[in-house]
Structure 1
Amino acid sequence: MRLMDKAVQACSSARLLLNHGDRDGACNRAYYAMFDAGCAVLAKFLPHEKHGKSHAGVINAFSLHFVKTGLVGKDLGRSLKRAEEMRLIADYRGGVLDSKDVEIIIDRAEYFIETLRGNFFLE
């Protein structure tokens, strides 16, 4: 499965999980939707560059090559970083996420994917 297809599927799963009351799972899937979409852009346009295997490496590379250069808006970089913060709370820190906050991050994930698909002709 291609990365952008994985991103779309993860976003769809996030919405389903939230609708079934699983805020932590929904947050996790929304973050991975954005992460996979970001990886797809990096792989397409910077295939020979090392992005690292860590989440921070990918997020930093996306910010450096796409946000700071103005190829995408700062709002996308902030959304990715916020999704990562929320996922860490959901997956590791045991905090409680508000349903409205999770719904917002899913909306942002959908926007993130559609923007990258539109701007960079990713399928």
Structure 2
Amino acid sequence: SITKEKSDDTKRKARALQGKSRKVDSHLMDTFTRNELEEALRNLKLRKSPGKDGITNEMLTNLGTRAKAALLAVLNMSWRTGIVPREWKETIMVPILRPGKNKLIMWMSSLMQVSVM
């Protein structure tokens, strides 16, 4: 019957999708490579404000070989365990007055929240 054919077709498609999602999931579990770290460091935007730890992107891009290896080990440990250090989640909230809103009364209602990580 047509209903049975549709049901079988749907089951085949679902099995095919499950196989694909397993491949993606296993790939996402791979640890980061030194080349991936190097590429990420090259792509950092410079001249940005540091986070709460005071580390700038310039500092990260100028790390030596040993420091990069240590950073990679920490990142991979966090990735494998799913544990993100509490400090990595902390942000600094900076109130910034929106352009054109310079009256004191409007000040509080015209603030934008900017999170610096």
Larger radius of gyration: 2
* TM-score using structure 1 length: 0.27
* TM-score using structure 2 length: 0.28
More strand by share: 2
